[in-house]
Amino acid sequence: MAAEIDPRQFRNVLGQFCTGITVITTFDGDQAAPIGFACQSFAALSLEPPLVLFCPTKASRSWAAIEKTGRFCVNVLAEEQRELCARFGSREPDKFAGVTWHASDLELPLLDDALATVECKVDSVVDGGDHYIVIGRVQALTESTTSGRPLLFYRGQYTAIEPDKTTPAPWRADLEHFLTTTTLDTWL
């Protein structure tokens, strides 16, 4: 029989894993007001088809709006967007008050100055304990023209890192071939 896991120790141990921080956004069901929340549980899932995932709590009001509209945008935050992250991680009822953003061509709220945005439609939802695992099919991508650093979360604190340009990650030839011979049209 497995020992019971202490929730505090679980958080502390998983805090050793550095995560990027995103803000997941959508519009409410009437397409009138933008809604969003800070999210660390975001990841790429598949290249073909292009899929991503994030994990909202089951009680999330933002998730309820995403579930209703079936669409969302992942906004990858930059190091200097700590206050924005804190705002979207709060219980503030109007998280967009004073925030600069614009609606995309796909009619999703995109945060200005995000390092990247990934616009998706909900593909599937899986039960994940006290969270849902939401799989999104990528519809559009943008990346910042600036070279900002990502906002990261590590050991309960915000942090950032500058990539070491002298030691790039190895690139796989099979992946390079796939990326240069496959177009987004073949994914959709």
Q: pLDDT tens per residue, the chain (188 residues)?
A: 778 988 889 888 877 778 889 999 999 877 689 999 999 999 999 999 999 999 999 999 999 999 999 999 999 999 999 999 999 999 988 999 999 999 999 999 999 999 999 999 999 999 999 999 999 999 999 998 777 889 888 787 777 776 666 666 666 666 566 556 555 454 44
Query: Is there a domain that residue 181 lies in?
Result: no
Confidence (pLDDT) at 29: 76
Confidence (pLDDT) at 140: 97
Query: Is there a domain that residue 49 lies in?
Result: yes
Residue/partner pairs of 92-100 with CB below 8 Å, 24 or more apart: 94/33, 95/35, 95/36, 95/37, 96/33, 96/34, 96/36
> What is the Cα–Cα distance from 46 to 118, expressed in whole angstroms?
14
Query: Is there a domain that residue 174 lies in?
Result: no
Query: Is there a domain that residue 183 lies in?
Result: no
Confidence (pLDDT) at 129: 94
**β-bridge pairing 152-154 and 19-20:** antiparallel
Confidence (pLDDT) at 171: 64
Confidence (pLDDT) at 122: 98
Query: Is there a domain that residue 168 lies in?
Result: no
Handedness of CA 78, 82, 83, 88 (dihedral sign): positive
The domain that holds 96 is classified in CATH as 2.30.110.10
Q: What's the structural domain count of the chain?
A: 1
Query: Is there a domain that residue 170 lies in?
Result: no
H/E stretch holding 88: helix 82-88
Query: Is there a domain that residue 186 lies in?
Result: no
Query: Is there a domain that residue 171 lies in?
Result: no
Give the domain extent around 68.
Answer: 7-163
Confidence (pLDDT) at 155: 82
